[in-house]
């Protein structure tokens, strides 16, 4: 799994002019799921996301997590994060999980983050053409990859 994590003051997802999820102060998480990903990678990443210290403490240092500040998460499925670009100019998505595998893992990630955060996580719509609006705070953008954990 690969995640692009952005610290935001606000973020929202719209599908067909309908807002499917919106947050203030928290993390926008773009999640890519690879064919070989399992619940083991999901659990590692979920723990990392809620405990990642990217929010400022009283001294202005990044020492607080989204859980520490009572923040929110907007989780968006994005298979393009698994793109391979080594050959040619057209990205290959052969390593991205197929929808029948990726969607259940995406939904499970939403549930796991909701449990760990102790509040409902906002979601996009799996497989939809989503429009994401955000105000990146900092900007702070972190890339997490479960393959780097191995």
Q: What is the pLDDT of residues 49-72, one digit of tens each?
A: 999 999 999 999 999 999 999 999
Rounded average pLDDT over 2-30: 98
Q: Has 79 been annotated as catalytic? A: yes
pLDDT at 55: 98
Burial class (CB in 10 A: 0-12, 13-18, 19+), 109: buried
Residue 76: alpha-carbon gap to chain centroid: 6
CB of 60 within 8 A of CB of 109? Answer: no
- Domain boundaries, given as residue ranges, for the chain: 2-145
How much is the pLDDT for 2? 97
Confidence check: pLDDT of 149 > 90: no
Given 80, 84, 120, 141, the catalytic residue: 80
- The confidence band for 124, taking pLDDT boundaries of 50, 70 and 90, is very high
Active site residue 115: no
126 is catalytic: no
Instruction: Provide DSSP, 53-111.
Output: --EE-TTSSEEE-TTTTT-EEEEEE-GGGG-B-SSSSS-B-TTBPPHHHHHHHHHHHHH
Per the prediction, the chain carries an average pLDDT of: 96
- C-beta of residue 121 within 8 angstroms of C-beta of residue 134: no
Q: Does domain 2-145 have CATH number 3.50.80.10?
A: yes
> pTM of the prediction?
0.95
Task: Judge whether residue 150 has pLDDT over 70.
Answer: no
């Amino acid at each position: 799994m690969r995640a692009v994590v952005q610290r935001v003051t606000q973020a929202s997802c719209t599908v067909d002019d309908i807002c499917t999820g919106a947050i203030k102060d928290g993390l926008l998480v773009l999640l890519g799921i690879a064919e070989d990903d399992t619940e083991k990678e999901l659990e590692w990443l979920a723990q990392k996301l809620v405990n990642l210290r990217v929010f400022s403490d009283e001294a202005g240092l990044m020492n607080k997590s989204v859980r520490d500040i009572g923040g929110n998460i907007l989780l968006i499925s994005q298979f393009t994060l698994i793109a391979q670009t080594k050959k040619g100019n057209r990205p290959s998505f052969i390593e991205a999980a197929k929808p029948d595998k990726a969607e259940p893992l995406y939904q499970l990630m939403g549930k796991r983050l909701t449990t760990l955060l102790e509040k409902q996580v906002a979601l996009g719509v799996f497989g939809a053409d989503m429009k994401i609006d955000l105000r990146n705070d900092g900007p702070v953008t972190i890339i997490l990859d479960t393959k780097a954990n191995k």
